[in-house]
Amino acid sequence: MSDFIDCKDLKAHWGKRDFELFGFLKKGLQPYTQYGQEIVDTDTLEHYKPYPIEYFENEIRRWLYPGSTSRGIIIRPDHPWTEEEIKQGAQKRFERQPQKPLNLPPHHMSFTLPDDAAEASKVLSKLNSLLFEKDQASEFAEQHGLRLLDDHGVDQPFNDISISRDANMTWNDITVTVLSDVELHFQWKTENVTRRYNLLGFEDKRTGNPIKAWTILLKAAETGQIPWAFKTRKQVEKIAQTLRKNFKALFPMVQGDPVPINSASEVYEFSFKLKPQIE
């Protein structure tokens, strides 16, 4: 059975507004009803013009030569139309008439936002009733540089956040120094890089604030270990997992575990040098 996420949560996870998420529908993000039924974009269906040219020719003739109206007034144009003018006028009306989709499925909508502001507002007001299948949304996110819907609720960017792809070094060659509550300094070999938490995969895009793993990382710089300030072991493992995932993304070519567990003391440590902020 598919696992779904509602529109409101998906907007918050990706940090997008209504009109931005609606634009994703046209790019391939598949919406579903509240009962998990696929919604089809009517713009992709075969369309037809409901009225033939002959219909408009007859309409023009009735307008030109209606006979007596209910008030007994005879309506005549300033000058009579030729048959050719009637056909040309009918052709223009035929081409301007709205097309209708053939074989409408049970659940459908246009994925094109109307130009009229009032109409667009009506369409967007229905957006929060949509659902999205998580696997499909994750695949879409990966293709468009959005954020993964991971199992731990941590906003992780799909875009490349790597600092170095040098494979000829170990974690022990890397020194990470806390510069402030929002910045880290990285040093390896002859290279130096300073980055804020939001460029290191530690930003909660819903609030713009650092995620919990960032705060724990700063505290861990004091002792070189993840502090046991948690009620359960699972909470500690979750933080370690997030830190491991982020540092592997920063240095994807470095082999080994950047946040291993010490089998003797059963605490998580760091394979790289982690230094606290200098007062």
Q: Which residues contact 122 (CB under 8 A, 6 or more apart)?
A: none
Grouping H, G, I as helix, E, B as strand and the rest as coil, residue 277 is coil
Give the Cα separation of 111 and 124 in Å (integer).
11
- Checking if the pLDDT of 195 tops 50, the result is yes
- Beta strand 156-157 pairing with 174-178: unpaired
Q: What is the pLDDT of residues 19-54, one digit of tens each?
A: 999 999 999 999 999 888 999 998 887 877 888 889
Percent pLDDT > 90 in the chain is: 34
Q: Token match 């223009």: residue?
A: 92
Q: What is the pLDDT of residues 108-158, one digit of tens each?
A: 888 999 999 999 999 998 888 899 998 888 888 878 777 776 543 434 444
Q: Are 242 and 235 in contact (CB under 8 A)?
A: no
Give Cα 249 distance to the centre of its chain. 21
Average pLDDT of the residues in 168-175 = 95
Q: Are 264 and 254 in contact (CB under 8 A)?
A: no
Q: What is the pLDDT of residues 55-113, one digit of tens each?
A: 888 888 887 766 544 444 445 555 667 888 888 988 999 889 888 777 778 888 889 99
DSSP 36-75: SPBPEEGGGS-EE-SS-HHHHHHHHHHHH---B-TTSPBP
